[in-house]
Structure 1
């Protein structure tokens, strides 16, 4: 079981629980204003919060929102989208938000092309991606919370991971725990962070 700290994001406009062993990347290098990036001090997992412009047509529903999360995934991965397999998509609830905003989470894996992975011995066998999309239509905003979990040979037990059989292994299991804690603790304290659609 991980230890978490209530952590201010975006200058305190947002607060949520982040694993205690994660470090704020902005203290090491520059991070875009619309992002908060946290990295595991003992591993390779990262958590990225991204406040972006809403994508897709107006309205809500699993079809519209499903297309939006796919668009965000494609934008995130660019040409790497070819090696992606989506394993699961589910509706998600942020329990500390006053209104019920639509939210969805997907679990995917990205496998590098074999020529790429041979060139760099530290390249991951695959990277698990847990992406949550929180849609704030009134504010013309999508919030993406992406947990990237690189699986590097020798750093994980290959026999423990088989998503086809529902075996997530420790690293993905931990990332699912981090996601669930974020959904339970994520609170927007200053809505001026977003633009209101009049």
Structure 2
């Protein structure tokens, strides 16, 4: 179980709990204004918050929101979408924003690099798991994506423990799911003005 601390994001406009052993990447390198990127100091896992323009038509529902998730996933992985497998998608509740009734969904997927590239890169992951949560703020014309990327690098994880076909997530994905759940529980938007300007970036 990680220990967490309440962490201001986007200059404090949003707060949520993040594990203490994650570091703010913007202190190391340039991160786009609409993103917050945090990386595990002891591993390879990263957490990315991204505020983006809402995709898809108006309204809400599994079909509209499901399509939006697919669009965001395709944007994220680009031409590698054929290497991605989605294992499950579920509705998600942001505990402290419940009364606002914003739809949210989370998917768990894995991306396996194309074999042709990986023969010479011994440090390339066998695969990368990701949990992606989409929080839809329709009135703000905004989608918030919270993605936890979990590279599985040979020798750094126990391959016998991971079999998503059988529902076995292994420790790294289990940890990511725990982090995601803590974010859903603690995520609060303190300054809605953050989204007023999002269209002009």
TM-score class, shorter:
over 0.9
Q: Does 1:92 align with 2:88?
A: no
Q: How many residue pairs are counted as aligned between the two chains?
A: 196
Q: Which residue of 2 aligns with 1:130?
A: 131
What is the Cα deviation at residue 116 of structure 1? Answer: 1.2
Structure 2, unmatched stretches of 5+, are none
Matches within 5 A, 1:73-88: 73-88=73-88
What is the Cα deviation at residue 161 of structure 1? Answer: 0.3
What is the Cα deviation at residue 80 of structure 1? Answer: 1.2
CA shift digits 1:21-67 (9 cap, x unpaired): 00000000000000000000000000000000000011100000000
TM-score relative to the length of structure 2: 0.96
Q: Which residue of 2 aligns with 1:145?
A: 146
TM-score relative to the length of structure 1: 0.98
Say whether the 8 Å CA contact 1:94–1:184 is kept in structure 2.
yes
Matches within 5 A, 1:32-181: 32-97=32-97, 98-181=99-182
Say whether the 8 Å CA contact 1:49–1:144 is kept in structure 2.
yes
Say whether the 8 Å CA contact 1:25–1:37 is kept in structure 2.
yes
SS in 2 for 1:105: strand
CA shift digits 1:86-107 (9 cap, x unpaired): 0000000001114010000000
RMSD: 0.8
Structure 1, unmatched stretches of 5+, are none
Say whether the 8 Å CA contact 1:140–1:195 is kept in structure 2.
no
